């Protein structure tokens, strides 16, 4: 695919999707209060532009903060599980069990624990929902490192830290970024869960809630599109980081 | 002449679910300084364990390995290793891969000197012009050449190789034998080569050691009385053919079958 194609094709696909949406709403003759159509979204965005910017920023920074925590903690857990079979045996059931809990059930628990700490609660939820894939992939990446990779440095008397820094860490980067792509979208879900469910919330989730309360369907759909947009931005942010730090893992296509 | 590598009375067993699995039994081998020692034996007889013991990556249950008259209890910087898997770090260029041991062994060495040393070796193995490439852009044989450079870049006393040419096709393998011969002529190191290929052991070795089936005991030592600057053609001489037959018979005995 040529460079222009790489840019044009995704845009064409998005336009086609919006067109299809518009047609379905038009054919069915759905009014605004049943299903908004893309042509309603422009005016909604314009009308609430200040809100979108403010709330969008709130959602964005909380998501990124939660994600940063998830990266730090997930990498730490992954290192524990990757280097120690004991830690792996102890942590895996706990982690899987925790991950299986629908995070919506944790919202009231967190809200009660930290009453009124809205920013903190939101960041915490984004973190809780997104560290699991990172921990698992880093753990697997480290524990499946072929012994020869360790031996070429260990035979020279290199310390465990040196082996980790020079070999294990860079070798795990492709798996890490794969997990980070999953975590990015998960963190978004976590942020919005709290923003929607908790009263007097802020962020795009709260804007969605207020749209629902006022029966403003174009606003609600506008929020969904804004969320999708932010998700795409963050996702491709990770892709750029991946290119920079793990671009070597991408084999040239023949 | 002193023996650089002394393996004395080494016995080793692995703990497994079904009880201890003894792999080495009272093994004693000496390799004089500068010599090339090829080790052959039935598969699974404990040859790789032997390399890990010499490298100091493991300690034997009883007996000991001595390098330069010093007992080996942990890894040492004067050892180089190469495996069947070239173990190239995909995120580094070929040059950076070759320089890796210097970062551990000689961290103060100026980068220009490291590069010069690595480039010199790459040139010797015929990889000049490929130093900036990634390992994934090279063929298996070229990666293995780079791996050999990395194993000796820090001028080790001892080079330990565990079937380094095992995964290559026959012609590439013969090319690499000659590369190995040339490296040896240029760089003074004592070498232990684990191999399954009897022709390889005769072409490269000064002595060929035949290990018995598990647990491995010293079964036979063959002194290869061929000129140091051998060409592949030497393998077709009657002397070499006799040696190959003799080794073949020894392997049969090691496998528990009758010799011819």
> Domain boundary residue among B155, B180, B212?
B155
**Does residue B252 form part of some domain?**
yes
CATH number, domain containing residue B204: 3.40.50.300
Mutation target to probe the A interface, by most A beta carbons within 10 A, among B83, B90, B104, B106 is B104
Domain coverage including residue B125 = 79-155
Mean pLDDT of chain A: 89
Same domain for B51 and B7: yes
Taking an 8 Å cut-off on Cβ atoms, the answer to whether B104 and A162 are in contact is yes
Same domain for B85 and B43: no
**Does residue B44 form part of some domain?**
yes
Taking an 8 Å cut-off on Cβ atoms, the answer to whether A151 and B136 are in contact is no
Identify any residues that bridge with B40 across adjacent strands, giving them in sequence order.
B210
Taking an 8 Å cut-off on Cβ atoms, the answer to whether B79 and A151 are in contact is no
Taking an 8 Å cut-off on Cβ atoms, the answer to whether B89 and A157 are in contact is no
pLDDT for the residue A253: 56
Q: How far is B86 from chain A (nearest CA, A)?
A: 9
pLDDT for the residue B73: 87
Q: Give the 3-state secondary structure of residue B141.
A: helix
Task: Give CA angle at B23 (B51, A83), nearest 5°.
Answer: 65
Statement: residue B2 has pLDDT above 80: no
Same domain for B137 and B121: yes
Same domain for B197 and B127: no
Residue B77's pLDDT band, with cuts at 50, 70 and 90, is confident
Same domain for B12 and B32: yes
Q: Which residues of A touch B144 (CB under 8 A)?
A: none
Same domain for B24 and B92: no
Task: Using a CB–CB cutoff of 8 Å, tell me whether B194 touches chain A.
Answer: no
**Does residue B249 form part of some domain?**
yes
Q: Render pLDDT for B96-144 as a digit per residue (tens, 0 to 9).
A: 999 999 999 888 999 999 999 999 999 989 999 999 999 999 998 999 9
Taking an 8 Å cut-off on Cβ atoms, the answer to whether A155 and B55 are in contact is yes
Same domain for B60 and B103: no
Q: Render pLDDT for A74-130 as a digit per residue (tens, 0 to 9).
A: 999 999 998 888 999 999 999 999 989 988 888 888 888 887 788 898 999 999 999
**Does residue B58 form part of some domain?**
yes
With an 8 Å Cβ cutoff, the interface of chain A facing chain B consists of 146, 148-149, 151-158, 162, 166-167, 170-171, 173, 246, 248-249, 251-252
Same domain for B260 and B133: no
> Domain boundary residue among B127, B155, B183?
B155
> Domain boundary residue among B132, B155, B178?
B155
Nearby residues of B67 by Cβ (< 8 Å), 6 or more positions away: B4, B5, B6, B54, B76, B78, B79, B157, B158
For A42-143+172-249, CATH gives 1.10.3720.10
Statement: residue A64 has pLDDT above 60: yes
């Amino acid at each position: 695919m040529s460079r222009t194609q790489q840019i044009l094709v995704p845009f064409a696909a998005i336009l086609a999707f919006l067109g299809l949406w518009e047609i379905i709403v038009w054919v069915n003759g759905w009014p605004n209060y049943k299903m908004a159509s893309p042509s309603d979204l422009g005016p909604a965005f314009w009308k609430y532009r200040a809100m979108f910017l403010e709330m969008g920023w709130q959602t964005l920074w909380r998501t990124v903060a939660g994600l940063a925590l998830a990266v730090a903690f997930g990498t730490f857990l992954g290192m524990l599980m990757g280097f120690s079979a004991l830690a792996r045996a102890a942590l895996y059931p706990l982690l899987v069990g925790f991950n299986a809990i629908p995070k919506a059930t944790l919202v009231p628990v967190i809200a009660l624990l930290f009453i009124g700490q809205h920013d903190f609660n939101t960041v915490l939820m984004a973190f809780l929902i997104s560290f699991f894939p990172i921990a698992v992939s880093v753990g697997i990446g480290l524990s499946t490192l072929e012994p020869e990779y360790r031996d070429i440095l260990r035979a020279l008397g290199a310390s465990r830290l040196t082996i980790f820094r020079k070999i294990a860490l860079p070798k795990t980067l492709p798996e890490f970024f794969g997990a980070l792509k999953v975590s990015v979208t998960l963190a978004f879900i976590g942020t919005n869960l709290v923003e929607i469910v908790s009263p007097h919330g802020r962020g795009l989730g709260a804007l969605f809630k207020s749209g629902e309360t006022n029966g403003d369907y174009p606003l609600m759909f506008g929020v969904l599109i804004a969320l999708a947009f932010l998700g795409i931005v963050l996702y491709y942010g990770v892709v750029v980081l991946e290119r920079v730090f793990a671009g070597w893992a991408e084999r040239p296509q023949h | 002449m002193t023996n650089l590598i002394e393996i004395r009375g080494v016995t080793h067993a692995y703990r497994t679910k079904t009880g201890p699995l003894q792999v080495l039994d009272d093994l004693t081998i000496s390799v004089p300084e500068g010599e090339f020692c090829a080790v052959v034996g039935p598969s699974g007889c404990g040859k790789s364990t032997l390399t890990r013991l010499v490298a100091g990556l493991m300690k034997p249950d009883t007996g000991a390995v001595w390098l330069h008259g010093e007992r080996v209890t942990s890894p040492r910087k004067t050892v180089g290793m190469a495996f069947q898997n070239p173990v190239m770090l995909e995120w580094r260029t070929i040059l950076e891969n070759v320089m890796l041991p210097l970062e551990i062994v000689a961290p103060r060495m100026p980068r220009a000197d490291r590069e010069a040393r690595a480039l010199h070796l790459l040139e010797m193995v015929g990889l000049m012009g490929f130093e900036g490439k990634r390992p994934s852009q090279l063929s298996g044989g070229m990666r293995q050449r780079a791996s050999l450079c990395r194993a000796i870049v820090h001028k080790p006393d001892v080079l330990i190789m565990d079937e380094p040419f095992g995964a290559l096709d026959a012609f590439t393998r013969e090319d690499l034998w000659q590369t190995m011969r040339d490296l040896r002529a240029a760089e003074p190191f004592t070498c232990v080569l684990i191999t399954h290929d009897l022709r390889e052991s005769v072409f490269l070795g000064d002595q060929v050691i035949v290990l018995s089936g598990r647990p491995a005991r010293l079964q036979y030592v063959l002194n290869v009385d061929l000129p140091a600057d051998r060409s592949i053609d030497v393998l077709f001489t009657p002397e070499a053919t006799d040696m190959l037959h003799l080794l073949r018979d020894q392997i049969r005995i090691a496998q528990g079958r009758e010799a011819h």
